[in-house]
Amino acid sequence: MKHDSHSASNIIEVDLASPLFAQAANYLKSRELDMLKEAYQFSREAHDGQFRKTGEPYVSHPVAVSQILTSWNLDAPALIAALLHDVVEDTQITKTEISQKYGKVVADLVDGVSKLDKISFESQKHQQAENFRKMLLAMAKDVRVMLIKLADRLHNMRTLTAMQAQKRARIAKETLEIYAPIANRLGLNDVYRELQELSLSHLYPNRYKVLSKAVKRARGNRKELIRKILASIEECLGDHNLDAEVSGREKAIHSIYRKMTTKTLSFAEVFDIYGFRVVVKDIASCYLALGVLHQRYKPVPGKFKDYIAIPKANGYQSLHSTLLSPVGTPIEIQIRTKNMDQIAESGVASHWLYKETDDASLTELQTRTHQWMQNLLQLQSEPGSAAEFLEHLKLDLFPDEVFVFTPKGKIISLPRGATTIDFAYAVHTDVGNSTIAAKVNHEPAALNTELRSGDRVEITTSANGVANPNWLRFIVTSRARSQIRHSVKSQQHEESALLGTRLLEQAIKDLKIEPNAITREHWDRLTKEYAGKTKNEILSEIGLGKQVAIVVARHLLALDDDAETQTNAQKTSLVIHGTEGMALQFAKCCHPIPGDPIIGYLKKGHGLVIHTHDCPIARRAHNDPHKWIDVEWDPDSSKSFLVKICVLARNGRGLLGKIATKVSAANANIETGNFEQNDSTNYAEINLSILVTNRIHLARVIRNVRSLDEVTRITRLKA
């Protein structure tokens, strides 16, 4: 009986795989088909006794994934890897066994798709990020990894109803944020739309049902209108001897939902829920068809996009135009060639679908995709956590592009909202890091200027320019974000090491020893004691407040860490120039300037923070006595420092102008100003942030402003 039961199960599973074999037989060689059948048996035996939440044998899942891939005509190694993609993760089979049986290519594909469940992670979020990083880096070497993963996710989404509601929501959110955009980035439009629809149906099931019913009702109400428009388009093109295939397509529910939420529209206000696609023989016919349709229907201004002349980053090409129908409702028209239509639906999979063709557009598509994947490898090579890598990836996956020009006429594609700094980093990392100014359309522009399609951008660089961490507040591309962070970290490390050197030398002098008495042997012993850290790393940690200079000095000199040594140490002050860079910060709670009595605190991870001696916030916030450093101003410092003053004055015409003139007469600059008027007293309070070189300079500014008859009181703000 047991044998009969097993045989019956075997028959069911063979029937399960027969559609896969039938589809694969259309393009695989007989030897490859035999290998596929053998891989199926191997997968079936490996997953024997395992079942999905739906109650089906587990092997039904890899079979379904492999079958999705046959619709893209993927090769035998990819289909075999799809059949085996869960065996390493869910069974005792190893990558080595797969490599020995099916070759290294298949084993690498399986490994690229497999999760990292057997490794310990800091958190679920970190694990998810690390999984994506591994998978995407594998994809950068072989795009088939991502195609298998997308097919895997597509089948899981199709069968997600068997999962618990909370898990369904988590998987749907992940799909919407990561996998659907990746499908879009690779040009797999059908997969992209289906993943969006399925995600919405699981994230917001009630909203999805309501919208589905509304679309069905609208379809019935507008059926006759749609038929008339379709016939009118065909007639119009036929009158001009244009051979075209015309089809109408309902907008996806997710697309309608997104438009309703982003534009705050009701369903009744979303008119363009139907679109029409016109497929013609060549590019010239695309533009001719556009002109013909613009004559028949009025185009909506600003709603035309030419993705043929400037394709999307994923290789998509088409003319898009929104026209007004006879009853006044807008309709969307897409016009493209047959090859463009094939690429629009299959994206990078076109490489397998149409690999016999010499179509240059496919070569261009592969080049673009390869470049994007190489960018992923470059992101991975930068220091940073897996979570940062995932953040960069998400930025790249929602492009909504603008196209701008270099001074030499080269087109650069950037995400909507990109700035001149994003442009600079898109040109080259060195250009981005050394940017000091920009011009847009021959006019000077701020570095945070958002670019629009058609802008001509010119970047001015300097050999002394460095990446500014403030740029992170407004840039949008992952490349710029990654490179700025890397540059800032390097810069901070270098400046912290210089500050650490000064702090350590001061600590050594406090111990009545000359710094030049420290030998290489001292450092060799210390680096071993500090777990193999380099001299530069130790100095950087001192500068960042992670190590206390006097403690390191005693260890370096092999002195006892006792109270007597501490008592004998005579503290000297560290001289502050104000040009130490990111390793030194001036506290925003008290805004110290040269001439103020000051003290420094080594804040862990931030470096040396300078406060005024009487700053109450500093005393409350920093209570570790070992991290307070005696500091004093360099008397020759000429750097400008920010200070805040509050001016109470009688309001009248030209008051702000008079104050600004007095500040300027004292050779000071106003950074920001804030004007508050008291209507009951006719007095105004003006808060100014000004740049001065020292307290004497500040006193001169205050004297100048106080000389105005309208001014009643001036105070310096310390918070």
Position with higher pLDDT, 356 vs 164: 164
User: Any idea which fold 206-357 has?
Assistant: Beta Polymerase; domain 2 (3.30.460)
With 80 as the cut, is the pLDDT of residue 138 above it? no
By CB atoms closer than 10 A (0-12, 13-18, 19+), residue 457 is buried
Phi-psi label, residue 349: left if phi above 0, alpha if psi -120 to 50, beta otherwise: alpha
The pTM of the full predicted model, rounded to 2 decimals, is: 0.55
pLDDT of residue 618: 77
State how far the alpha carbon of 231 is from the alpha carbons of 234, 250, 325, in Å. 5, 17, 13
Residue 112, Cβ neighbours under 10 Å: how many? 23
User: Any idea which fold 641-717 has?
Assistant: Alpha-Beta Plaits (3.30.70)
- Whether the CB-CB separation of 196 and 298 falls below 8 Å is answered with no
With 90 as the cut, is the pLDDT of residue 422 above it? yes
Structure tokens given for 495: 């400046």
Q: What is the mean pLDDT of the chain?
A: 80
With 80 as the cut, is the pLDDT of residue 135 above it? no
Nearby residues of 162 by Cβ (< 8 Å), 6 or more positions away: 52, 53, 54
State how far the alpha carbon of 543 is from the alpha carbons of 225, 602, 623, in Å. 73, 8, 19
Length of the chain: 719
pLDDT of residue 367: 61
pLDDT of residue 198: 93
Q: Mean pLDDT, to the nearest integer, of 652-667?
A: 89
3-state SS of 662-717? HHHHCCCEEEEEEEEEECCCCEEEEEEEEEECCHHHHHHHHHHHHCCCCEEEEEEE
3-class SS of residue 113: helix
Q: Mean pLDDT, to the nearest integer, of 152-161?
A: 91
Percentage of the chain with pLDDT > 90? 20
CATH for 400-476, among 3.30.70.240, 3.30.920.30, 3.10.20.30, 3.40.50.620?
A: 3.10.20.30
Nearby residues of 368 by Cβ (< 8 Å), 6 or more positions away: 313, 314, 315
With 50 as the cut, is the pLDDT of residue 653 above it? yes
- Of 700, 691, 697, 699, nearest in space to 671 by CA: 691
Cα distance between residue 160 and residue 57, in whole Å = 16
pLDDT of residue 118: 40
- Could you state, in order of their start, the residue ranges of all structural domains in the chain? 2-200, 206-357, 400-476, 486-633, 641-717
- Of 339, 346, 367, nearest in space to 70 by CA: 346
Summarised one tens digit per residue, pLDDT across range 190-245 is 898 899 999 999 988 888 888 888 877 776 666 777 788 888 888 889 888 899 99
Please report the DSSP string for 568-608 in residue order. H----PEEE-S--GGGEEE-TTT---TTS-EEEEEETTTEE
Position with higher pLDDT, 29 vs 140: 29
Identified catalytic residue from 90, 364, 632, 685: 90
Structure tokens given for 153: 């996710």
Cα distance between residue 702 and residue 715, in whole Å = 9
With 80 as the cut, is the pLDDT of residue 665 above it? yes
Identified catalytic residue from 32, 48, 56, 89: 89
User: Any idea which fold 2-200 has?
Assistant: Hypothetical protein af1432 (1.10.3210)
pLDDT of residue 54: 83
Summarised one tens digit per residue, pLDDT across range 534-562 is 888 888 887 777 777 777 888 888 765 44
Structure tokens given for 593: 């300037």
Structure tokens given for 618: 């500093």
Q: Mean pLDDT, to the nearest integer, of 403-425?
A: 85
Can you tell me which residue has the tokens 């139907």? 274
Cα distance between residue 523 and residue 558, in whole Å = 11
- Whether the CB-CB separation of 276 and 331 falls below 8 Å is answered with yes
Asked about 90 being catalytic, the answer comes back as yes
Q: If you ran DSSP here, which 8-state letter would residue 251 be given?
A: P
Position with higher pLDDT, 700 vs 71: 700
With 70 as the cut, is the pLDDT of residue 129 above it? no
- Of 72, 80, 128, nearest in space to 104 by CA: 80
Summarised one tens digit per residue, pLDDT across range 300-337 is 887 888 888 888 766 788 999 988 876 677 788 999 99
By CB atoms closer than 10 A (0-12, 13-18, 19+), residue 546 is middle
pLDDT of residue 610: 86
Phi-psi label, residue 379: left if phi above 0, alpha if psi -120 to 50, beta otherwise: alpha
- Of 336, 331, 327, 317, nearest in space to 230 by CA: 331
Summarised one tens digit per residue, pLDDT across range 365-411 is 556 665 665 565 555 555 455 555 555 555 555 556 677 888 887 77
Phi-psi label, residue 461: left if phi above 0, alpha if psi -120 to 50, beta otherwise: beta
